[in-house]
């Protein structure tokens, strides 16, 4: 499972033209689910995301988590995080999990994140046409792969 985390001053999401809301400060997390992913990947990533200290403290040092600042989280499924560009110029998404496997994992990811955050998260809709807007703060953008725990 791969996530791309962006620290955001604000974010907003629209799904198939319908406004799904947004927040003033927090994290936008794009989630790519692959064939081998499971519950262990979710638990590890949710813990990492919730506790990642990438918000500034009184001295401006990245020392606070989204929990510490009372921020929000937006979770958006994005199979393109598993694009392979090894051959040619057209990406292959063969490693991305199919919807019947990915949707339950995505829904579990949402529930576990809400439980850890202590409040609802903003979400997209799996497989829908979405527009996500944000102001990347910093910019701070972090890539995490649950199969390569660096």
Task: Report the helix count and the strand count for the chain, using DSSP H and E.
Answer: 3, 8
DSSP string for residues in 61-113? -EEE-HHHHT-EEEEEE-GGGG-B-SSSSS-B-TTBPPHHHHHHHHHHHHHHH
19 closest CA partner among 130, 134, 110: 130
Would you say the C-alpha torsion 130, 139, 40, 32 has a positive or negative sign? positive
Pairing type for strands 72-77 and 122-123 reads parallel
Q: Which residues are catalytic?
A: 80
Q: Which two tokens stand for residue 86?
A: 């090894």
């Amino acid at each position: 499972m791969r996530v791309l985390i962006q620290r955001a001053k604000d974010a907003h999401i629209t799904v198939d033209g319908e406004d799904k809301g947004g927040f003033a400060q927090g994290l936008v997390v794009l989630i790519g689910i692959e064939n081998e992913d499971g519950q262990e990947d979710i638990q590890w990533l949710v813990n990492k995301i919730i506790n990642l200290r990438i918000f500034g403290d009184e001295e401006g040092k990245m020392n606070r988590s989204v929990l510490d600042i009372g921020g929000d989280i937006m979770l958006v499924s994005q199979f393109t995080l598993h694009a392979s560009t090894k051959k040619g110029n057209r990406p292959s998404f063969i490693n991305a999990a199919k919807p019947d496997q990915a949707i339950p994992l995505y829904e579990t990811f949402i529930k576990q994140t809400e439980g850890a955050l202590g409040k609802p998260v903003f979400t997209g809709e799996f497989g829908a046409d979405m527009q996500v807007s944000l102001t990347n703060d910093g910019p701070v953008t972090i890539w995490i792969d649950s199969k390569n725990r660096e």
